[in-house]
Chain A
């Protein structure tokens, strides 16, 4: 009888001893995902979402604008932004480090979509749609890295274990170029013209292809390191840039020139003609990244709320911000006085320049600098804004076309269309190729100010140091200014570079 009890006890023990393997609960993992088109699309959105992270949305502006003549940075902004502004080049710069890291997070997420969707049983049409965007995103991330750092590590597959975390550095610029153009060609083939705010379509792929080629062409032309070794002649890349920009300009009607300057910067009008690829953020989000604070990065914080006087005599109310990007007076003054991009798109200043008031028509608030209003959400939800970074804009691509094509009639007309919108006269006709291209670069500086392009325009023309007084003061050479060093942490942690 007692023996029975003992057996009973042991039986109880034996039943309880099941296996020790864990099954994931409440989270998705490699084992239970990528089975349906919806899942693939969800993973694709996760890749897009990487760009909404603060290290990217702020990074594109910090890196694209601070090292140029266009602005100064708020003195205690931190994260190495002062060093960027003053051209203290350091591999330990945190803004660069986070931008680098974030780009690879986006790449890994895109790679995961590419790897898994390619192998999945999803039907071919749905596959192509998702894959096209994933290839676009991968190219987009590499293009960002290439412009900032030059040769970077190449990661073509999703990282699944520790052994795969140490990718090799690209052998040369052509390796990155081939990677991007191959991805973009696939994207162009797989995708249709289909506008969805916050997502890329065929036009975005063509636009990016044009930008990549123009960047390579002009960099090689300017004898920038690594680009000089590109295998083809300069005009080969110019022609490709012209070809793809031409497809954007001429072969579709979804996107195009928006004659209303202010509609471009209306955060609530993301479906405007200009917006080929916007990063989608909305004030209804919960976390920063879901919503944006970019407007506050520009708005001065010297008063907590104020009215901005518009040239038409109206006033617009806004809360104060952080005042991070402070336009230099030389850049502000470089605009023609009638340029609407000057009169409508800047706030601040002092004396006769001041257009900030504590009440409509009340006492002026004097701010020592001007700040861009391109990102300001005038109807925010507390600190949450719907401002969306401009990743690919039609005017950018029109100017890419003009620069690649040279002083053709079509190129002139594209530039003049933009100048007309700003209230300016036509560009001087009959410019030489070089003078025309310089004029386009200058037009880009005004038109695309604070949209994260300026540094790369200067770099590909090897004109960083000539243009930016602070780069001269820091004593850097054009060659040093051409690329930032790979972040120290990457150099330390990745033995393969």
Chain B
């Protein structure tokens, strides 16, 4: 029997034997089994075991660390590899049972980080670069990666002030250094400078493998005139060699408000208070059972109280969804052989926002292929196509007066008057506002290894985007539609960007101690964008909306185009001696079509040095530091900030009516902005400034990297000083010039700060691991100069003589702008009056020089801080600062058996927020000042009060948020071999916020203005992640 079986087996193996004989090699094949364990003796699952000479032969270790692999040459090799462990190769040596111990790879220092036009070992960095791991942050779904980076890197500030579907984020690195240009960092995706950070919707966050934040000049100056705001390098994931993997990841998020909506709950109270407000102003009451001048009937308070006016509408229920939901599904397939690898991934993202009929949908497909043409010549291509659609609901007013019903008895909309243009249901159902976008992001890379020490890389990148916005405003329900008897629009935009870059890298070690690395390159960028806006008005029939603009009686078209070119030469030299002393110098020359004729070329150098003290014997002798590295850098980078054609003379186009028709009028000077009440006055520009150029930021950085306890505790410390000069500003021209403004380079801003990042590997046991990461960032911003006070049109503070100018949003309620840029102060500080509660006695008013209506009891007690006996605009001063004192975050990461978890806290401290809608809120209105309630917290109600921007509106915006709590479970599926990995996760975003702020949420834009809107979401996400 036995012989027979052997015989059968022999026959089955015959071809192999023949092959072996033919190849004249007699090689014994054997089956090897064994276990893989950690140094601590714990079994290791998921270790790839492979025959390095025949990669088709591989297996993975199971939950007990056991593996079996057949058909291995008995004198061959086995390779064991797993992420986070050192790869080892074992000689089989005729053994059939192996016990393998894998060492954890604690040497994070050997990590390679991506920098501009190259990669470098993390230990060899001379600049300040933060790396962000994306595995945990992706437990919460996002349309673009930026929103998830909040608190994840020292010096990186991310603000998510909008929660609307598809909304982007505000991203800053080391503060704001430009006043009129952009402050957003440059985003580079796999070597492609795609544009400003804020809304990278073209890349699925799940496709991102790592993110590097280039902060100091040594790291960012290689991007020249686009590097001043720092650079965020995004690296997408690559196929893993070996097997074909299919990954499916799905996340579903349900959101709830973290605070109650502010709305009127008691209509009698609402009407009574509204009447009180009118009466106090000497006006007839609003709720008086009569039709008012605007044609609106307001019932009396009694009618409401008695139920004679029966309507009470919960507009929040009408306007808002019960449960905003978000679904995010990604599928990817990747595979690699020794010559070709590819990733094909798709993503479908659907965000149903808080408003009904308000949503965002995106679909995305990415294909990456790498192919080795020859051993020394690789081509790579990456292509992403995506399509998105934003449905915007124009009917958003959940604060509409609850006494209005939705419908009349005949089913038509209840409109308060013919001019009622805010009926949310009518607007939702009859107006259209949809923006559809298509994006393509592609690159083609040729990588040639000319010699062991010389590499040449050439990359062609192309980006295309297009949006079409469809709008219709109906005749009856909207202001625009009423004025134009129906208004329909189609707005088209398309932009494209081509970058061609080629660079050669020389890398060689001489005499064992001198490591020399040079990079020389060239880059050419071309960008263009164009738009056409079509409008039609006056429709006989509205059923088509904007489908047929020709059906309108009147049509208008507008279009525009702009293009820009950037030509660059760049280089970097690295030299390290004995792996102790490292030097880097970079240089970039940028020529831009946008710069003036006299300043076409800008030069951006940087130098840096680093000392690995831990390589010195005397440091080693302390036996404290695993790493102790000092970094010093200095360099210059730029910010282009200007739009194309600013350096050319420019005519305007207008219409003039004569002889009964509109004639085209063309001449010198064109509209560059508007000013004044309702933007009624045009600001004229059009004289060229041939000297116009980039803004320059010079930055000095001193950093220290330290590792202790076998690198289980790592501390990175950075100090920086950034000075930005030649700020792009608009200078006023004399009135008699016939123009208002011209762009010039003038003014200075500085930022200085400290960044601390502490990583601790706290517990590292068999079943329980815990690491903590603490990040602290402090930035101090200061406006040093705003140029010549007169031509810059600066205001002068009466008390201190401080020079300032208004910046940002004008508020009709204050007839003023709350933010200023002031010399010697941080950017965007608040400028207004001081108050000390309310006027309780006539003495209070008299002492502060308040007269007239301002002197009444229950008015704001504005302070006469100038002490001149009058209350006037001389009594204004700086009353707040929206810039935080510091930001900090703490993440705790760990795993217990098959569970993994993260708790992430993020805090912003010491910033002020303007609660611009503080007066007249339904939840505080009853706390108003009255003779019986002489409060100092709120003024009396008075309809026609002229408000002034004062410290009464300002509150501390500090907050500490439990931003993210996530728990995952990794299933160990012993019996289901076709599933390689299965993880389910639960994530809660914005679990709780600790703050003194009284509005919905203190996370507001950089100007510190709180707009209200709706409360922050607490987002509950369930996710499943399967790999086949």
Chain A contacts to B: CB under 8 angstroms: 2, 5-6, 9-10, 12-13, 16-18, 20-22, 24-31, 33, 39, 42-43, 45-49, 52-55, 78-79, 97-98, 100-101, 104-105, 107-109, 112-113, 152-153, 155, 158-162, 164-167, 196-199, 280-282, 284-286, 288, 290, 303-304, 382-383, 487, 489-490, 492-494
Contacts and interface: CB of A to CB of B under 8 A. Distances in A.
Interface in B644-671: 644-645, 647-660, 662-670
Contacts of A43: 665-667
B154 to A, nearest CB: 37
A112 B500 contact: no
Interface in B109-157: none
Given A2-B377, A489-B793, 15 more contacts: A6-B450, A20-B565, A28-B666, A42-B665, A46-B666, A54-B680, A105-B669, A108-B668, A109-B668, A162-B742, A198-B658, A303-B293, A304-B294, A490-B734, A493-B732
Contacts of A167: 734, 736-737
B600 interface: yes
Main secondary structure of the interface of B (DSSP, over half): strand
B736 A45 contact: no
A-B pairs, top 7 by smallest CB distance, nearest first, are A108-B738, A46-B667, A165-B737, A45-B665, A198-B658, A494-B734, A28-B651
Contacts of B483: 382-383
A162 B733 contact: yes
Interface of B: 293-295, 377, 446, 448, 450, 456, 458, 483, 500, 502, 522, 524, 526, 556, 559-563, 565, 567, 591-595, 597, 600, 644-645, 647-660, 662-670, 676-677, 680-682, 684, 687-689, 732-740, 742, 790-791, 793
B649 A29 contact: yes
Interface centre among B559, B562, B649, B793 (most CB of A within 10 A): B649
A30 B645 CA distance: 13
A79 B446 CA distance: 64
B738 A107 contact: yes
Contacts of B647: 22
Contact of A285 (B565, B657, B664): B657
Contacts of A487: 735
A31 B647 CA distance: 13
A20 B560 contact: no
Contacts of B664: 42, 45
Contacts of B592: 20
A107 B681 CA distance: 18
Contact of B684 (A39, A105, A196): A105
Contacts of B680: 54, 288
B653 to A, nearest CB: 7
Contacts of A46: 651-652, 654, 656, 665-668
Contact of A27 (B294, B651, B677): B651
A382 B487 CA distance: 15
B738 A104 contact: yes
A12 B680 CA distance: 51
A282 B677 CA distance: 23
Nearest to A5: B448
B567 A280 contact: no
Nearest to B594: A22
Contacts of A280: 656-658
Contact of A10 (B377, B502, B653): B502
Given A9-B458, A46-B666, A284-B662, A2 B448 contact: yes
Contacts of B567: 17, 20
Nearest to B944: A76
Nearest to A278: B658
Contacts of A98: 681
B649 A105 contact: no
Interface centre among A22, A98, A161, A290 (most CB of B within 10 A): A22
Contacts of B522: 13, 17
A17 B650 CA distance: 27
A13 B524 contact: yes
A98 B735 CA distance: 9
25 contacts: A2-B448, A9-B502, A17-B567, A20-B565, A27-B650, A27-B651, A27-B652, A42-B664, A45-B656, A46-B654, A46-B665, A48-B656, A52-B656, A79-B676, A100-B735, A105-B739, A109-B669, A109-B738, A162-B689, A198-B656, A198-B657, A280-B656, A286-B556, A288-B680, A304-B293
A108 B663 contact: no
B738 A285 contact: no
A101 B648 CA distance: 22
Contacts of A101: 735, 740
B502 A2 contact: no
Contact of B644 (A18, A22, A162, A196): A22
A357 B665 CA distance: 43
Contact of A24 (B450, B650, B653, B665): B650
Nearest to B731: A162
A159 B662 CA distance: 28
Contact of A165 (B500, B600, B734): B734
A112 B649 CA distance: 13
A79 B654 CA distance: 26
Contact of A493 (B562, B594, B689, B790): B790
A29 B735 contact: no
A48 B791 contact: no
Contacts of A33: 651, 666
B689 to A, nearest CB: 7
A145 B739 CA distance: 17
B666 A21 contact: no
A192 to B, nearest CB: 15
Nearest to A43: B667
B500 A16 contact: yes
A108 B676 CA distance: 23
A165 B666 contact: no
Contacts of B660: 197
A155 B644 CA distance: 30
B736 A153 contact: yes
A152 to B, nearest CB: 8
Interface centre among B294, B559, B561, B654 (most CB of A within 10 A): B654
Contact of B651 (A29, A55, A153, A303): A29
B682 A197 contact: no
A493 B736 CA distance: 9
Contact of B667 (A47, A153, A285, A492): A47
Contact of B736 (A29, A281, A494): A494
Nearest to A98: B681
B790 A197 contact: no
Contact of B502 (A13, A42, A55): A13
Contacts of A29: 648-651
Interface centre among A39, A162, A164 (most CB of B within 10 A): A162
A300 B797 CA distance: 39
Contacts of A18: 565
Contacts of B659: 196-198
A456 B446 CA distance: 78
B671 to A, nearest CB: 10
Given A27-B670, A105-B738, A12 B500 contact: yes
A20 B688 CA distance: 16
A470 B742 CA distance: 41
Contact of A104 (B560, B652, B689, B735): B735
A469 B658 CA distance: 41
B732 A489 contact: yes
Contacts of B681: 53-55, 98
A284 B659 CA distance: 13
A371 B650 CA distance: 43
Contacts of B677: 78-79
Contact of A28 (B653, B740, B793): B653
A31 B645 CA distance: 13
Contacts of A494: 734-736
Contact of A109 (B594, B644, B667, B676): B667
Contacts of A164: 737
Contacts of A47: 667
A411 B525 CA distance: 75
